[in-house]
Amino acid sequence: MNISRNVLIALATFAIVAIALYSYEDVEDSAAANSTLNRGLSTDPESLDPHKMRSVQAGEVLRDIGEGLAGYTATGELIPAAADGWTISDDGLTYTFNIRSDARWSNADAVTASHFVFSLRRLVDPATAAFNAHLIADIENASAISSGEMEPSALAVEAKDDQTLIIRLSRPTPYFLALLTYPSTFPVNPDSLAEHGDSFTRPGNLLSNGAYKLDSWQPGSMLRLSRNEEYWNNAATAIDAVNYHVLTQPMTELNRYRAGELHITAIVPPESFKRIREDRPDELHVASYLGVYYYGYNLSKPMFGDSLQLRQALSMAIDRDVLVEKITGRGEAPAYSWVPAGVDNYEPRRFNYADLNQDERNAGARRLYREAGYSAANPAQFELRYNTSDTQQRIALAVQSMWREVLGAEVTLVNEEFQVLLSNMREAEVTQVFRSSWIGDYNDAHTFLSILQGGNPANMPRYASDEYDELMLAAAEQTDPKLRRVYLEEAERVLLADHPVIPLYFYVSKHLVSLQVSGWGDNVLDYHYSQHLSLATD
């Protein structure tokens, strides 16, 4: 009885499987290897709609298939893109762009100023629910539109004619041009959107105004792009096709690179880094990156909120050189400031203890720890939360032991799934010290400093300083870039003196780039447009 029942289950399964075998067709074919660039992508784009995208990976693909008013060279200099030039009014509030007369969609229609007007309005329209609507919050009326107080048509963006686009800002924003390189500000084609609705981003429907167009997308596997013949700068595009291989496991990606199946990897796994640096030094590209890895204090807890001494003691007792040399080991820079080096028009301030050696720092930390009222008999006891991952764990263990050895603090490690940690950080109920990071959205100190302003939703430590907020406000109202810089740097000095966060290190971008690829440029934003690259044929 029992056996025959299982036999029947097996038969039924086989019947279904047989049908599946019959119905599954191989959709992939081998493309010509020479003109096809194979790139690793660590996860699928969540959307190729510029207004629904959010992730680094979606941005990577969108920079190949779309184009904003401005762009970057391979080495990260800002250049005109869909606009061939612009003028900025003396008060820094009005930008006038001249759209290229030869800018074309992949169906040969002209890209016009009205397309940008349409797209920027769509970005802030509450009905779109765009994740990055706040990127252009400095355009006049943008915030009021996002919060439903005004109609999208009230956005201060105007097409004077097909070629002339005028954008008015509510306050001077020196990094505004850099924002226009971000895919959320790329144009979408209004006719295509009207025709296809939500499915306008599908292969076959998607109209692109960039160097490549989307041929196919198999979620979890690959996005195939091919040359957009209509692109205004098509003559300068060397590579005919780009395959983005979705590879969520860094080791899998590395294996595929070593097997010669990828030209560029999205990342380099930490456990293989040392060997790669020895074996393939010419292929390894490590560049500083606009990102800071930090531990934050939950300042709404009196233990941390009321004790500057404890906050500073904990910060000083961490030997960052050990972290970046022994644990991360990929060329990361130890962090003694909040804003990473390499940001345009900015010189990061540093912790006042940054020039001491670690022994001197430890001595200072012990003194502050005692002043805060803690001792061997009465040690500081708290939890350090981080998200489950090998690297986070090793860093947390190292910091825990540094705090124990230098100060005698008793720290409990709590690891949580990323989404759980995020939700705990936001609620700020159970968190005491937590791990987080911040990746800059644009090349300006503002992207780092602004998140610690009072009321900023990303202000996880709940840092609240009137002095800091006033300096940030003064910087925001400043049209003179030199003065603005002075205010921002002063704000960072105030911030560092208050120790709401412990910056541990600054990120680096890490890629393996095949020697066949030329035109690669390391840059602080880690943007690598396929159109700047070429492949040596062998």
Tell me which DSSP letter residue 444 carries: S
* Residues in contact with another protein, shown as a per-residue x/- string from 138 to 177 under the rule CB under 8 A: -----x--xxx-----------------------------
In the bound state with another protein, the residue whose beta carbon lies nearer, of 75 and 437, is 437
Q: Is 43 in the site for another protein (CB under 8 A)?
A: yes
Q: Which residues within the stretch 237-296 sit at the binding site for another protein (CB under 8 A)?
A: 243, 245-249, 251-252, 255-256, 258-261
In the bound state with another protein, the residue whose beta carbon lies nearer, of 258 and 366, is 258
Q: Is 350 in the site for another protein (CB under 8 A)?
A: no
Q: Could you give the C-alpha distances from 130 to 2, 38, 60, 133, in angstroms and in order?
A: 56, 30, 18, 5
In the bound state with another protein, the residue whose beta carbon lies nearer, of 31 and 322, is 31
Min dist CB 233 to another protein, Å, is 27
Among 114, 134, 171, 352, binds another protein (CB under 8 A): 134
Q: What is the dihedral of CA 226, 229, 230, 232, to 10 degrees?
A: 100
DSSP string over 65-124: H---SEEE-TT--EEESSEEEEEE-TTS-EEEEEE-TT-B-TTSPBP-HHHHHHHHHHHH
Min dist CB 99 to another protein, Å, is 27
* Residues in contact with another protein, shown as a per-residue x/- string from 484 to 523 under the rule CB under 8 A: ----------------------------------------
In the bound state with another protein, the residue whose beta carbon lies nearer, of 349 and 462, is 462
Q: Which residues within the stretch 53-92 sit at the binding site for another protein (CB under 8 A)?
A: 54
Among 37, 50, 52, 510, binds another protein (CB under 8 A): 52
In the bound state with another protein, the residue whose beta carbon lies nearer, of 29 and 538, is 29
In the bound state with another protein, the residue whose beta carbon lies nearer, of 81 and 239, is 239
Sheet holding 94-99, edge to edge: 83-88, 94-99, 164-168, 157-161
Min dist CB 31 to another protein, Å, is 8
Report how many residues bind another protein under the rule CB under 8 A: 84
Q: Which of 98, 207, 100 is nearest to 159 (CA)?
A: 98
Element (H, E) at 407: helix 390-407
Q: Is 197 in the site for another protein (CB under 8 A)?
A: no
Q: Which residues within the stretch 420-479 sit at the binding site for another protein (CB under 8 A)?
A: 420, 422-424, 426, 436-439, 441, 457-458, 460
Distance CA 510, CA 42 (A): 13
Q: Is 12 in the site for another protein (CB under 8 A)?
A: yes
Q: Is 389 in the site for another protein (CB under 8 A)?
A: no
If 0-12 CB within 10 Å is exposed, 13-18 middle and 19+ buried, where does residue 143 land? middle
Min dist CB 496 to another protein, Å, is 21
Report yes or no: 519 and 532 within 8 Å, Cβ to Cβ: yes
Min dist CB 28 to another protein, Å, is 6
Distance CA 358, CA 316 (A): 8
Q: Is 108 left (phi over 0), alpha (psi -120 to 50) or beta?
A: left
In the bound state with another protein, the residue whose beta carbon lies nearer, of 127 and 377, is 127
Element (H, E) at 472: helix 466-477
Most distant pair of Cα atoms in the chain: their distance = 89
In the bound state with another protein, the residue whose beta carbon lies nearer, of 106 and 436, is 436
In the bound state with another protein, the residue whose beta carbon lies nearer, of 365 and 525, is 525
* Cβ count within 10 A of residue 323: 22
Distance CA 535, CA 538 (A): 9
